[in-house]
Chain A
Amino acid sequence: MRSLHRLFGIAVLLVASTSVLLCPASHAVEHAILQRHCSKCHTGDEPEGGFHLDMLGGGVTRDSREYWQSSMEYVSLGDMPPSEDSKVTETERQQIAEYIRDVVLARDADVAADYQIPTRRLNNREFANSISDALGIEDPGTHFPLGNLLGDTLHDGFDTNGDVLGISEYHLEQYVDTVREIVDAIVLTGERTPSQRYEVPSALLQMSSLNQRTTRRQSAGRNSDSLEFRDMRLQMSFENFKEVPTTGYYRIKIRATGVDRGYYDSEQTGVYDGDPIRLSIHFGDRVRTYELPDNEVKEIELTEWLAKGTRIELSYPTDGLRKRGNGNFKFQQSIAHDHIKENDPELYEKVVSKIRPKKAGGRNLRVNHWSYWVDYWRGPRPRVFSADVEGPIYKSWPPERQVALVGESPNAHNAEEILKPIAERAWRREVRDGELDPLVRLVSMRQKELGDLEAIKEGIVAIFVSPSFLLINPEGASHPDRFATKLSFFLQSTLPSDALRDFVRAGKLDDYPSVRNAIVEYFTSNRGDEFLDEFPQGWLQLDRINFMAPDPDHFAHYHRKGVSDDMIAEAKRFFRHAIETNMPLPEMLTANFSFINADLAEVYGVDDVPEDSILRRYEFTDQRRGGMLGMGAFLTLTADSLGTSPIHRAVYVLENFMGIKPSPPPGDVEIQEPDVRQAKTIKEILAAHIAEETCASCHRSIDPYGYAFENFDPMGAWRDAYVQVSVSEPVSEAKVPKRKKSVEKQFELPIDASATFRNGNSYDDIVGFRGLMRDEANQKQFVRCFVKKLLVYANGVEPEDTAAVEEIVLKSAENDYRIVDTIAVVVDSPLFREP
């Protein structure tokens, strides 16, 4: 609802100022064209939408900037002046738009003066990447050193917002502990521990228990030579290797195979025959996943640096095996019953005959109850034969990573020499004269009681608790260093490499072509992967997808197959494709293709895709789907669990695709709660709301962005009619019927997915809507939105300088709004460079 209200705001502004006299009347005269077309509604005591023309002042200033920007957006989209009550022609509307744009581009000096973005704390992602890079390690460690860091709060989906990334003494204390734990797993004090070998025969493989009581023996799944994953909720571990005894390299060998893939019908198991059986190996939160060949032993061998206390655990990753009962794996085992009954009558008789009636008081279960068939389960599963662990292994002593960090035999007297290169990497700049003195003093103070090595560790911890590490560009570093830092955090979420800093300092990223080349290089070398993953995640607010997940009873497939993961993957895969092909931005919105797998195909009503989980490019021929407007992720995260809301979807489209934030409805408005039981369509319900004039002026601008999606249900599947279902709780919980059979009344109502925009354009359904989204004004607005989102991600704040944003959009237009070029224009703009 938020977006609607900004619109109101503008309308009101135009009307209100005569009485308020926010600014001298002469200003209004300067904008004669606006007076002519807008003053009817946007002057007076109660201007439409709370926007009075006088709020624009004479030109763009800090105070009026917001109003100019909104005015530009609404006029260029054709929402203003509204076609319903003015006779403005298309030409006139364009003239108004051009006039506003000219004023915006001729910004006042005070707006452009200061581009400096306030410093902010690293988020936890950036912290993990940065400290690993500064210390020269693969990740912070396998002993959960970041486990106690406070979670980051998201703002509009992004984890880079400076306002919500606060810092408190609680944060600081966790940082001290965390950094200490990370450093302790690199710099090893004491004697070298000799390597040892742990052979793990199948008898010593053990399965975790779902019960907190571990006394019960897990028998199912144990063969004479192996242990199998009969239940994918469990983890396997090694009985004679509970945890890593000493930090160092460990060589781990595991012999495993996949069995019984396709033995049961994949319709029943929810595991596609085309998907290989996989096995994951967990070292703390470091996970390695392998595909297992069918009935053929694979020797997995890997060497990992493991911190003391790390546990090694194996798991069976699958999104299937949840199709029966309420989705709990155990119910799945009744498939064994069905299969044996049909294919092996002899065995069936044998098993059934062994079922004894329960003793008095026990409930007698039907023969197809899962519990009788656990031992006969033949679903797809990994079978592990044995394992072998050897370590700690050191190629040299002290270990290489320690020598790389502090040298062969570090001495506290050389503390400055040792700490300086670490500090320069961590702080992304040159260390100032005398700056390390307090750290050097710290080391020499501790040397006596702790010894050289431990004392130097104290100095290293201090480097990473410093604001120069924990905050991004907190101080007057040189301009090239600041730019290198920003660029690196933008694309890689980590501190800049020495090479990048040298490159920038040598003036090799000073203009648009060189920036563009550098960005292409990031994306083609996989160094930009973090951006490709995190930017769409934040932009599309994918974290919200299960905030109101579709109802599990009515959208079972969504829950049973973990479809939200596929939807998120689809959105990210599509974004990556756009980058790889340097797609023109507007095409992303309305492309006729996307990347789908069999799970998504079921939601999208498509049946010509291979039976597996791999995302492949798919062209939709119905003109309804494809691109970002057709993605399940967007359609699901904007819906409630049982119903859809055109307003939620409209607000999402406005905020994330159009870059317009409607303001929320005034507090005193009574909003009728949707009632899924009543025989009214959402449109009829909203009609009553919109009939009220206070609501109407905003909703006329907002709602047309949402009605088009009414043919998509809460999961994002196509529907031709509303199927309303009454849901009822058991009347009295004291008397629950033996077999719960909820009485559901169903009725169908037709869907009306048509609407008319304020500029007079109308559409009948999603096909028409997608057509309108391809017109020039909407395309440009989408690009403007994308540019702003990029800047929010990069800077942690909304861009203030409308003119600079507009200049980016104009330059992007010269390159057909292509995405990589547009990103390069953004990075090359003063809004990113902070001159």
Chain B
Amino acid sequence: MPFSRRSILQGFGGAIALPKLESIAQAAEKPSAGSQSHRPAGTLRFLVVGNPLGMHPPNFFPKDFGRDYTMSRTLQPLEWAKDRFTVFSHTDHGMKSGHGRELAFLSGVLPETSHAFPEKNMSIDQLIARHIGSDVRYPSIHASLQTGIRMVWNANGVELKPFTDPQRLFEHLFLNLSEQEKRHQLTTIQRNGSILDAVREQFAGVKAKAGVADRERLDQFGTSIRELENRLKTREEWVGRDKPEFDISHHLEGEASIINRYNAMFDMVAYAFQTDLTRVATIAFPNELGYTDVNGVNRGYHACTHNGKDEQVVSELVAIESFQIEQLSRFMKRLDEIDEPNANGSMLDHTVILFGSGMGYGGTHSNRNLPILVAGGGFKHLGHVDTRSAAGKNMPLCNLYVTLMQRFGIERDSFNLSTGSFSLDHA
């Protein structure tokens, strides 16, 4: 199902002209309208695109390795970007087979065993969002249709639910608060601020009485008060400020096909990246959704994975999977047509995209050899990589996650099940 050229053009229509940037750094400098030259250098964004059923392996994984590999059937839509992404073979979380373990996609950790890990089963997007902090209005945004696939978890092991309705996502991202809502938010922020003021004063008395042994941790407490006060101030500014304008109505007019709605969601994420509303996003393709809008698909997604190798059913599965790759390709193209302000390359070069699943292939219920693809991000991409060790063991996917974290300047060399990192250079 090739996406129609018309819809792409629509997606760009009008909206692309001179977006206003959102970030605080911008606000401080009060740029002239539409100027993009003040975005802090080194801005990097992160998008995860995931599904819960994996990919049909013979059609997803290219037959040969290296930069010069032959594009596989499912990956055809990405032919144009062959040097802009890497396909990883033989990496996984070492999970046993069966549904339900794909929940560990972005952490390697299942909810039931998460108490053994200090960061629980926090997903990598949340780890990166936390690192980016309050520089942007929304630490992260999550989108899906109909229902989520449970891939995003915070540091408490709490699942973050995605927006499952493009209209609601639009309202969240681009609709300005009513005056009453703004007032309510401001009141809460101010009330919390006053509480902190009172605590800070009382704290001064505590500190004066404290012994030497307690000084260090009390300083930590004092710093926390100061930093939270700053954060509340930042947030107060966000509440008052208008959000960038955007129009997705053309996607939502007429028939509400899943194609239109995914186009709308990807466009909103692209624009949110472009205007620095957020730098972390996830988009999911759930199992329960009907994909019959996609050309050639008659059956349910899950049923197609249990195809008994019937050629017809396999081709339906491949159509669903290709649809996902097409959406990815469309998004990448879109980012690639925007110059990254204040830096070399396009916005795609400054956006790390992770596509994949916590399940290897639904047909066998295998959770080994996950379909994993990393695009953009200014990496020197490697084509199709066999990540197995000399002994033939699959690489822990967490190794790749360590690499991605490091790309974001997070100084750590391990993440949950990692045994090292994957060497992927960037420009």
Contact = CB atoms under 8 A, between A and B. Distances in A.
Contacts of A120: 217
A755 to B, nearest CB: 30
B113 interface: yes
A546 B116 contact: yes
Contact of A547 (B98, B116, B199): B116
A116 interface: yes
A174 to B, nearest CB: 10
Given A118-B217, A150-B156, A471-B221, A211 B288 contact: yes
Please give me the 6 A-B residue pairs with the lowest Cβ-Cβ distance, nearest first. Answer: A438-B201, A169-B227, A169-B228, A547-B116, A475-B209, A212-B147
A466 interface: yes
B308 A149 contact: no
Given A119-B218, A462-B199, A474 B213 contact: no
Interface in B166-219: 191-192, 194-199, 201-203, 205-207, 209-214, 216-218
B8 interface: no
Contacts of A436: 202
B154 to A, nearest CB: 9
Nearest to A541: B116
Contact of A734 (B57, B158, B207, B221): B57
Interface stretch (A244-252, A439-447, A825-833): A439-447
Interface stretch (A160-168, A366-374, A783-791, A808-816): A160-168
B369 interface: yes
17 contacts: A118-B213, A119-B210, A121-B217, A150-B155, A151-B157, A167-B221, A172-B196, A172-B225, A361-B310, A435-B205, A436-B202, A462-B195, A474-B210, A543-B116, A730-B364, A730-B366, A736-B364
B360 A733 contact: yes
A117 interface: yes
B6 interface: no
Contact of B361 (A462, A468, A733): A733
Chain A interface size, under 10 / 10 to 19 / 20 to 34 / 35 or more: 35 or more
A173 B116 contact: no
Interface of A is mostly: loop
A172 B391 CA distance: 48
A544 interface: yes
Contact of A466 (B113, B199, B228, B361): B199
Contacts of A151: 118, 120, 155-157
A213 B288 contact: yes
A120 B221 CA distance: 10
A439 B198 contact: yes
A363 interface: yes
Nearest to B360: A733
Interface in A676-732: 729-730
A461 B195 contact: yes
A587 to B, nearest CB: 31
B366 A114 contact: no
B228 A546 contact: no
Contacts of B206: 466-468, 474-475
Contacts of A212: 147-148, 288
B198 A446 contact: no
Contacts of A164: 118
A476 B195 contact: no
Contacts of A471: 214, 217-218, 221
A394 B363 CA distance: 57
A153 interface: yes
A292 to B, nearest CB: 27
Nearest to B112: A546
A241 B214 CA distance: 50
Contacts of B209: 475-476
Contacts of A173: 192, 228, 231
A458 interface: yes
B14 interface: no
Interface in A418-442: 432, 435-439, 441-442
Contacts of A148: 156, 158
Given A435-B202, A438-B199, A476-B209, 17 more contacts: A119-B214, A120-B217, A148-B158, A149-B156, A213-B147, A435-B205, A436-B202, A442-B194, A458-B191, A462-B198, A467-B206, A473-B214, A475-B206, A546-B113, A546-B116, A729-B366, A733-B366
A184 to B, nearest CB: 12
A168 B133 CA distance: 13
Nearest to B391: A673
Contacts of A467: 199, 203, 206, 218, 221
A474 B113 CA distance: 34
B341 to A, nearest CB: 30
B374 to A, nearest CB: 22
A552 interface: yes
A432 B147 contact: no
B295 interface: no
A465 B227 contact: no
Nearest to B156: A151
Of B112, B147, B211, B212, the most chain A CB neighbours within 10 A belong to B211
Interface centre among A153, A361, A459 (most CB of B within 10 A): A361
Interface of B: 57-58, 96, 98, 112-113, 115-116, 118, 120, 146-148, 155-158, 191-192, 194-199, 201-203, 205-207, 209-214, 216-218, 220-221, 223-228, 231, 288, 306, 308, 310, 313, 360-361, 363-364, 366, 368-369, 391
Given A476-B209, A733-B57, A176 B202 contact: no
Interface string A139-183: 000000001111101100000001010111101110010000000
A326 interface: yes
Contacts of A736: 363-364
B96 A552 contact: yes
Contact of B202 (A162, A361, A438, A458): A438
A459 B202 CA distance: 12
B116 A476 contact: no
Contacts of B156: 147-151
Nearest to B215: A118
Interface string A114-134: 101111110000000000000
A153 B369 CA distance: 32
A326 B101 CA distance: 13
B195 A147 contact: no
A7 to B, nearest CB: 27
Contacts of B214: 118-119, 471, 473-475
B212 to A, nearest CB: 8
Contact of A119 (B217, B310, B391): B217
Contacts of B198: 438-439, 441-442, 459, 462
B220 A166 contact: yes
B155 A476 contact: no
A168 B224 contact: yes
B115 A543 contact: yes
B166 to A, nearest CB: 18
A171 B224 contact: yes
Contacts of A121: 217
Contacts of B368: 729, 733
A168 B219 CA distance: 11
Interface in A763-783: none
B147 A363 contact: no
B195 A458 contact: yes
Nearest to B157: A151
A118 B216 contact: yes
Contacts of A459: 198
B199 A465 contact: yes
A474 B360 CA distance: 52
Nearest to B99: A328
A118 B213 CA distance: 5
A544 B221 contact: no
B399 to A, nearest CB: 16
Contacts of A149: 156
Contacts of B218: 119, 467, 471, 474
B195 A442 contact: yes
Contact of B364 (A117, A118, A733): A733
A34 B284 CA distance: 68
